[in-house]
Structure 1
Amino acid sequence: MLWPEWENKAACSALVINNRASGEKNPVDHSSRLQSAWASFRNRRRSRELSDVTSRLIREADTGALQRAGMVRVVVAGIMLVSVLLVTYGVDIANPMAIKQIAAAELTLALFGVSGWTSAWLASKRIAVEQLPVFTAVIDALLVLGNLGYSHWGLGIPGGLFAVFPVTWVVPITLAAVAIHYQPRLQIMVALIYVAGLSFLAFGGETLSPAERREDLSQINAVFSDQANLVRVAMILSLALILILVARQGRVLLERAVRETTLRVSLTRYLPRELAPVLTEQAFASLRQGRRAHVTVMFVDMRASTSFGETMDPGQLAVFITSFRRRVLRAASRHGGVIDKFTGDGALILFGVPGKGDDDAKRALACGRTLLQLIQRWNVKRQFDPPVRVGIGIHSGEVFCGVVGDESRLEFTVVGETVNIASRIEQATKSADCELLASVETVQEAGEEDLWEEVAHEPLPGVTRNVVLMKPIQASSVFFVS
């Protein structure tokens, strides 16, 4: 499950929307300042965790790129090695220098293939994924420059003639292989290695006169033979294959990004807004199939809202309901709740969707307390008469969770006995004269038995089994009569 990351992203997105929508400020005291500072710290922490989600997705893409890049190195090394073997097969080579160059080329290509296979294997095992692109790119550059260095210092061929040797053509091939990783800084680093190495070979020794250059070229005219040119053609083919792979990979990433963006635009029409931005295509497919999950359900309802509707004109009532919902959003976002839906002056909030967390019940209870505090401050600020009152019911259990309906009308929903019990608990707050009630199952899951006490109540209507209800000890909520 990826719930912790999704939870944090949902919370941050809802908080951002909430802050933008609200032009109000709560009464400022030392307590609220500390709470605001702590909330800001947690939001910054959640933002860092969001970057962790992005990093995880990038690492998955990098792992696939590493495997493909490794196999490309194996294929390219095989093509060029076979080409060298074919052009030298049955040919009587008497020049000792040519024999040594061919042996050095075969060894270089073999090591090139081994390096590619090793990186692909390590990537498949998720070993050193972040370091492998740098490691393989540097190894490739050292192999190519090492081969040219051997020709220069080992065989005595002037470094200024490096361009005539077929191994030089491996440079653009390795640069193209690095492009598979889509890491500009790595590309720059490898380019600088080649520029520095080739510059040292070309300009590090004595400058040859035209006559000396002609004499040296006459001694290595075999590098312009048909066999050598055939190897060069094979290198061009290898380069083309790598660039095709890079283009294809870029196209796949573009199509995936467009598909994900289109999916999110569609999801925002019927999914809770906290979920739509964080669901992947696979996660949405799971919700579309539906599943059973253990969640904590919170029902919130405003008491005596009819009286407010009778005393306010439509414009004022719209602002009033919007302000109430804004506070529900603020409480839910602060504790990672997902608002499934608003129903007039009420709301259904879920904890544990799309994935279960160890502290779902604890966060739900904290959300209820936070909402009561926000409503109390709102009453102090606006001097409502009568004051705004709410009822909050919380219960934990198994529900069906998923997206239902046909393509013309899809809807995210949770159904089951747990949802029904949570709704009945919220209604029981009226008879219990307490704004916040929770089932004993939720309190036990949260580990807060010492902070709650049992409430005597009538059997919950429509619920066949006995449900033990709890209310906060020394509750700061205001008692009321509906």
Structure 2
Amino acid sequence: MNPGCTSGLTLTSNKMSAPFDSIVLDRERKNERTVAKLRLALNLFSLVADFAGYTHIIDFTNVTPTWQTLALDATLTCISCLVLVWVTQHSYWRGTKFATISLDYVLLTTLILFDPTVSQSPQILPWMALVAGLFVYSYNLLRFSVAGTLYAGAHAIAMFCYFAIRCNVADFVPMLFSLLMLLAIGLIVTISNLKMMREANAKVMMERFLAPELVSELLTAKTLPVSGGKAQRITILFADIRSFTAMAEKHSPEQVVHFLNDYLSKMTEIIFAQNGTVDKFIGDAVMAFFGAPRPTERDEENALLAAAAMTRALPEIAARHPGMAPLAIGIGIHTGEAIVGNIGSERRLDYTAIGDAVNLASRIEGLTKQYGCGILLSEATRIGLPADGLPGMALREIDVVAVRGKAQPTLIYEAVTT
């Protein structure tokens, strides 16, 4: 184990949102294709319906469609087809949505102005422009883009104002106010959807490390960890199964994986119950810490209680996996300052802790083999425990050791259940 191997990583604040931005961009790309298909379907339907009216198969308009209507429908259908080919065959560019939004309103305005079947009555035309503008605006909400929603809203306002002024509408102000209210609702929906997606993404990510109740509390308080981390005092716990490699060699990979899933699930449950954070699994080893993202006055106590509960859970786990008995673990605990936060690459971030305190906790866990102890903790952790100790547990001073990589010797204690 080398928990300190990632030290020195630094991140800019925008990297925390990179995975979420990638999810939204992928959703935008898929929905742009959906909109392109919808656009083509509507124009095809219009072409077929107008052709049926032109040939008097169906008479559904007061004005019979003409060759001009069919030519207009055919042109718009060809344009829609070209757009669909473009968005499906080429890499998605975020500026695409602005071009296609403009295209939708241009096509809509062209239909209203030049389709002979559309009534040009001053009493009807503004209402038609308002409804048609809102229709295009509504399916733009699929794009999950605040900028796209604002851009589409601006087009809807411009189109309505053009026809309203052109027709000298008497109720211009009330109609415009109603339009603005509906556009505002659409903007609120877009912002709410993005917020919901961001929180869901953060919740899924953080529940890998934290108890669901704590994640919900942090989301409510809007205090989820940010990228790059910060220095804070935490208590780090390392736990490792004794002679696991030799045990695993005697069993099939399927049996080993089944055992590890059971073991790690139980250890995670115990750590969560003590308000701990699961940092990572390193094979059969568990790294956890207490005091981040939410510090408490009982971090050292919680870590020791978790260690004791982990040890007590071993017989229950071994009973479910007789081939893995006897089952024993070594646990090392240390308290100190570490850098805690979301660390990694733009494509993969992990909520983790790095620093000398993490390394020392790992070294102390390694000393459990040398001293034949189940749980060892440092002097720094002991100082943070209640003065009267913990019920059912006693501390026994073991040694002052010079841990590899540390200039100052470290006093270590064994935690013994009584």
1:307 aligned partner, one-letter code: A
1:468 aligned partner, one-letter code: L
Deviation per CA, 1:197-224, whole angstroms, max 9, x where unpaired?
A: xxxxxxxxxxxxxxxxxxxxxxxxxxxx
1:420 aligned partner, one-letter code: N
* Equivalent residue in structure 1 for 2:410, among 454, 457, 467: 467
Aligned-residue CA RMSD in angstroms? 3.3
CA 1:242/1:399 → structure 2, altered by over 3 Å: closer, same or farther? same
Secondary structure, counterpart of 2:410 in structure 1? coil
- Asked whether 1:443 is paired with 2:388, we answer no
In the other structure, the counterpart of 2:395 is: 453
Deviation at 1:437, TM superposition (A): 1.4
Superposition map of 1:62-101 within 5 A: none
Asked if 2 retains the 8 angstrom alpha-carbon contact of 1:432 and 1:455, the reply is no
Asked if 1 retains the 8 angstrom alpha-carbon contact of 2:318 and 2:325, the reply is no
Alpha-carbon distance in structure 1 between the residues aligned to 2:196 and 2:324: 52
Alpha-carbon distance in structure 2 between the residues aligned to 1:328 and 1:262: 25
Alpha-carbon distance in structure 2 between the residues aligned to 1:310 and 1:245: 64
Alpha-carbon distance in structure 2 between the residues aligned to 1:466 and 1:298: 19
Alpha-carbon distance in structure 2 between the residues aligned to 1:449 and 1:418: 26
* Equivalent residue in structure 2 for 1:348, among 276, 280, 287: 287
Q: Give identity over the alignment, percent.
A: 24
- Asked whether 1:272 is paired with 2:209, we answer yes
Deviation at 1:394, TM superposition (A): 0.9
CA 1:350/1:258 → structure 2, altered by over 3 Å: closer, same or farther? same
In the other structure, the counterpart of 1:303 is: 242
Asked if 2 retains the 8 angstrom alpha-carbon contact of 1:337 and 1:364, the reply is yes
Alpha-carbon distance in structure 1 between the residues aligned to 2:185 and 2:325: 67
In the other structure, the counterpart of 1:252 is: 191
Asked if 1 retains the 8 angstrom alpha-carbon contact of 2:279 and 2:288, the reply is yes
Alpha-carbon distance in structure 2 between the residues aligned to 1:449 and 1:405: 41
In the other structure, the counterpart of 1:415 is: 354
Alpha-carbon distance in structure 2 between the residues aligned to 1:386 and 1:373: 14
Deviation per CA, 1:261-290, whole angstroms, max 9, x where unpaired?
A: 35556x479x63658965659755x52132
Asked if 2 retains the 8 angstrom alpha-carbon contact of 1:287 and 1:401, the reply is no
Alpha-carbon distance in structure 1 between the residues aligned to 2:295 and 2:377: 19
Instruction: Show structure 2 runs of 5+ residues with no match.
Output: 1-169
1:352 aligned partner, one-letter code: G
* Equivalent residue in structure 2 for 1:393, among 311, 314, 332: 332
- Higher Rg of the two aligned structures: 1
CA 1:318/1:234 → structure 2, altered by over 3 Å: closer, same or farther? closer
Asked if 2 retains the 8 angstrom alpha-carbon contact of 1:340 and 1:350, the reply is yes
Alpha-carbon distance in structure 1 between the residues aligned to 2:178 and 2:348: 50
CA 1:292/1:394 → structure 2, altered by over 3 Å: closer, same or farther? same
Superposition map of 1:33-72 within 5 A: none
CA 1:321/1:244 → structure 2, altered by over 3 Å: closer, same or farther? closer
1:430 aligned partner, one-letter code: K
TM-score by length of 2: 0.51
In the other structure, the counterpart of 2:373 is: 434
Alpha-carbon distance in structure 1 between the residues aligned to 2:388 and 2:290: 19
- Asked whether 1:404 is paired with 2:343, we answer yes
Secondary structure, counterpart of 2:247 in structure 1? helix
Instruction: Show structure 1 runs of 5+ residues with no match.
Output: 1-229, 477-482
In the other structure, the counterpart of 2:255 is: 316
Alpha-carbon distance in structure 2 between the residues aligned to 1:382 and 1:409: 34
Secondary structure, counterpart of 2:365 in structure 1? helix
